[in-house]
Chain A
Amino acid sequence: MEKYLLQAAHNKDFHECIEHSFNDKFYDWKITVLFYIAIHCLKALASKLNIEIGETHREVEKNINPDRTPHSLPISRAAYKNYRDLYQYSKTARYEGFTDFETFEKLKETDHSHCLIHLSNFQKYIESRGVKLDSCIL
């Protein structure tokens, strides 16, 4: 479990670093980092419970989605939606070419603000399952 918490904390530090140094830039990368923080928090929970949830996104999704069976670590529907939304934002984060760059940054800035809410909710859920995330909370 510790190694996942360290990775989550590492990513959180990186997010803080780019937020501090580039407050109004690189939202695509910030979104990607937020999703990776969520993954590592989730893997920390799986590790604590000694449950295998897989490596690829599809494997993880199958194992945590409460509406899918069989699943090894179903999480609450609300938590799943927070995780899923972070995944969708990160998937689209680097998909560019349909606007000018300035507009792209504006769109990603809004997406980033939504991602911060989703990650905060998701981390609260992980903590409610007994994983201490002190060093990983944004």
Chain B
Amino acid sequence: MIFRRQKLFDHNELYKIMNSLKDIETSTGQKKGQIKAILYLLQTNLDEFKNEVDKSYELLRIGEKTDLSKMIEETLSDPFRSIFNVSSKIDKEVRDIVNRITIGYFKSIKKSTISQVYQNKSHRNDLYYAIVLEEDSIENRSMVFDFFDSYEQLDIAERFPVFFQFVPAELTGKLKHMEKVTLE
């Protein structure tokens, strides 16, 4: 066995977690506290994973396959597909992060500048937003451009391009394959 199982919730462990949380709140021990918290999360996840491996091992002995066993089998029989699946999963995660950051920006400037936002429902890597401004002026458009200009300067922008279109409120009914973003 590679890992020795850890006792998760004994008193010493709880004491350590409480200390970790306290450390996070203090500036001097902030990094140490963060490391402790991350290690604790890793420990928990590894423990869960260990249980899954043990269960898969035991079930395989009697001819049953868990999701983990099936995944390993697929990887062995078709490694390229497996790599492709991992890559697609990472792409989706990154796209979601870019989307969340962008919507966060829209929310931050909503009151003064942006009235509504719609986004594409496609699963392609690119993100497309239709933006309705409170008042369609060069100044308000420029505020939105400022944000996308900052994004464009990141290397990630080439792989995950972001497009946007200013749309008057009266034309939002003409948008297709798009859903309204909640900005509240």
Spell out A's residues near B (CB within 8 Å).
58, 61, 65, 68, 81, 84-85, 88, 91-92, 95, 97-100, 103, 106-107, 110-111, 114, 117
Contacts and interface: CB of A to CB of B under 8 A. Distances in A.
Interface stretch (B11-19, B58-66, B88-96, B174-182): B174-182
B138 A84 contact: no
Contacts of A107: 165-167, 171
Category for how many chain B residues contact A: 20 to 34
Given A68-B153, A92-B163, A111-B166, A98 B130 contact: yes
Contact of A110 (B130, B166, B177): B166
A34 B96 CA distance: 33
Contacts of A58: 158
Contacts of B138: 114, 117
Interface residues of B: mostly helix, strand, loop or mixed?
A: mixed
A95 B171 contact: no
A96 to B, nearest CB: 10
A110 to B, nearest CB: 7
Contact of B163 (A61, A91, A106): A91
B145 A99 contact: no
Given A103-B171, A114-B138, A98 B165 contact: yes
Contact of A61 (B120, B152, B165): B152
Contact of A97 (B142, B145, B167, B177): B177
B152 A98 contact: no
Contacts of B178: 98
A41 B120 CA distance: 35
